[in-house]
């Protein structure tokens, strides 16, 4: 009989694996991504492809340099997913080198210098996005308006190539800021919130995705749908998304109630920018988020609160990426202090005290 080295159980396993997990996240985010590709046309697809190619090349290179098995790591889907999620948060008509730099940065600096999969402290995609945002603020905040594929004003394949690879003249009429950007600029010009929002924020458009914004975050509906799939498949747990969205809703609701002309409302904050994509797909990254349910609640709430604070008082219109990175930094601390209560022990680790003996008479 074939004898293996295994001595202890379990000898059966749940049908889960790392590649399957990655594939499911990819699948769950594909409706939103698909819509993004449809709305923003060929240039968006080009950008996505460039980002993925850069990430996979960087992954191969670093695995090879470190003498690790290239094949099994490369095909575990993690590098592909990182690039995919990064691309979903980029301006869809960004030039090719944004995607290339971002993909390479995410893998090389965000992941492999920490020791590869599972070792990184920060979410690689968000690290890359923030690095790009700080280094190239113009390109990272130039947003294309939706030009659905096959519509009359949609760029054809060749025009798309020239947009992505930087040979086309800058087409001003096609681009504009996102809602969050309008509000931020509006305040600097002394406009009230309602003045800034007029004509720029329509909840239905944000729900369906017919608005300008990053590649994969414009349709709140599809993002939430993907998130629900992840929850149903137990890829993610409810704690992080719920806590994050609840924190955003609570803060924005409170401040909007105090001064509606200064602070955006709940719907505005939840449906704009990357709040939903962040809550379901970014902050839930297992590697960089806490392990215990209570830790995840705290982490999610922190992401939400920071997102709102940065959007409201920070220098940038959007704050999800910064918020997630900041909370990533405290994840080890959360994991250290917020452990689950061990069976038979108090939260502080002391053994429970046995219950007082029951005052029942013996049956003798």
Partner 1 sequence: MLRLRRLRFRGGVHPEGHKQSTTDREIEPLPLPARLYLPVQQHIGAPAEPLVKPGDYVLKGQLLARSAGAVSAPVHASTSGTVVAIEPFTAPHPSGLPVRTVILEPDGEERWAERSYDSDAFAMTPEEIAARVGAAGIVGMGGAAFPAAVKLNLGSRNTVHTLVINGGECEPYLTCDDRLMQERPREIIDGVRIMMRALHAHTARIAIEDNKPYAIAAMTAAAAACPDVHVTAVPTRYPMGSEKQMIQALTGLEVPAGKLSADVGIVVHNVATAHAVRNALRRDQALISRIVTVGGGAVDTPRNLEVPLGTLVSDLLEACGLKEEPARLLAGGPMMGMVLPHAQVPVVKGTNGIIALTAKEINAGEVRPCIRCARCVAACPCGLMPLEMASRVRSGDIDGAVSYGLGDCISCGSCSYVCPSNIPLVQYFNFAKGALANQREEQRKTEETRRLAAERNARLEAAKQQKANQQRRRSEAAESTESG
Least CB distance from residue 127 to partner 1, whole Å? 17
Least CB distance from residue 244 to partner 1, whole Å? 17
Nearer to partner 1, 107 or 193 (CB): 107
Closest CA to 275 of 307, 247, 305: 307
Computed on alpha carbons and rounded to an integer, the radius of gyration of the chain in Å comes to: 23
Least CB distance from residue 190 to partner 1, whole Å? 47
Helix residue ranges per DSSP H, the chain: 18-66, 70-74, 78-88, 96-108, 124-135, 137-140, 157-164, 179-188, 193-197, 203-208, 220-232, 239-258, 266-271, 275-277, 293-313, 320-337
Least CB distance from residue 243 to partner 1, whole Å? 15
Least CB distance from residue 26 to partner 1, whole Å? 15
Distance CA 142, CA 154 (A): 17
Least CB distance from residue 300 to partner 1, whole Å? 14
Least CB distance from residue 310 to partner 1, whole Å? 26
Q: Return the number of other C-beta atoms located less than 10 Å from residue 287's C-beta.
A: 17
Nearer to partner 1, 13 or 170 (CB): 13
Nearer to partner 1, 18 or 168 (CB): 18
Least CB distance from residue 210 to partner 1, whole Å? 35
DSSP string, 319-350: -HHHHHHHHHHHHHHHHHH-PPPPTTB-TTSP
| Residue found by looking up tokens 């130039």 in the block | 142
Nearer to partner 1, 43 or 241 (CB): 241
Nearer to partner 1, 262 or 345 (CB): 345
Nearer to partner 1, 222 or 298 (CB): 298
Distance CA 203, CA 74 (A): 40
Per the CB < 8 A criterion, the answer to whether 129 and 89 are in contact is: yes
By CB under 8 A, name the binding residues for partner 1.
1-4, 6-18, 20-21, 72, 76, 78, 116-119, 234, 237, 286-293, 335, 339-345, 351-355, 357-358, 360, 362-364
Per the CB < 8 A criterion, the answer to whether 20 and 81 are in contact is: no
Nearer to partner 1, 64 or 257 (CB): 64
| Dihedral pair phi/psi, residue 178, rounded to 5° | -80, 170
CA atoms within 13 A on the CB side of 270: 24
Nearer to partner 1, 49 or 56 (CB): 56
């Amino acid at each position: 009989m074939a004898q293996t080295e295994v001595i202890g159980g379990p000898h059966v396993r749940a049908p889960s694996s790392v590649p399957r997990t990655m594939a499911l996240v990819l699948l769950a985010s594909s409706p939103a991504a698909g819509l993004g590709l449809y709305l923003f046309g060929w240039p968006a697809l080009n950008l996505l492809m460039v980002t993925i190619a850069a990430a996979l090349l960087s992954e191969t290179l670093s695995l090879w340099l470190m003498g690790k098995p290239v094949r099994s790591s490369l095909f575990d889907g993690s590098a592909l997913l990182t690039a995919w999620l990064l691309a979903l948060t980029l301006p869809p008509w960004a030039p090719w080198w944004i995607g290339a730099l971002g993909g390479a940065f995410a893998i090389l600096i965000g992941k492999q210098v920490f020791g590869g999969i599972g070792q990184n402290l920060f979410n690689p995609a968000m690290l890359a996005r923030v690095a790009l945002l700080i280094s190239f603020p113009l390109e990272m905040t130039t947003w294309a308006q939706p030009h659905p594929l096959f519509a009359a004003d949609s760029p054809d394949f060749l025009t798309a190539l020239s947009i992505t690879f930087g040979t086309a003249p800058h087409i001003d009429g096609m681009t504009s800021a996102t809602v969050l950007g309008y509000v931020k600029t509006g305040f600097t010009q002394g406009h009230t919130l309602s003045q800034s929002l007029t004509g720029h924020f329509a909840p239905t458009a944000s729900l369906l995705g017919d608005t300008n914004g990053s590649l994969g975050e414009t349709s709140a509906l599809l993002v939430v749908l993907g998130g629900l799939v992840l929850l149903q498949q137990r890829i993610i747990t409810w704690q992080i998304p719920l806590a994050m969205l609840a924190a955003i809703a609570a803060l924005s609701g409170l401040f909007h109630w105090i001064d509606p002309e200064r602070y955006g409302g709940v719907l505005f904050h939840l449906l704009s920018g990357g709040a939903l994509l962040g809550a379901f797909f970014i902050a839930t990254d297992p590697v960089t988020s806490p392990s215990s349910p209570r830790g995840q609640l705290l982490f999610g709430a922190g992401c939400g609160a920071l997102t709102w604070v940065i959007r409201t008082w920070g220098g940038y219109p959007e704050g999800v990426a910064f918020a997630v990175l900041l909370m990533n930094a405290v994840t080890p601390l959360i994991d250290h202090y917020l452990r689950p209560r061990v069976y038979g022990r108090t939260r502080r680790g002391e053994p429970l005290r046995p219950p007082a003996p029951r005052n029942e008479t013996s049956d003798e």
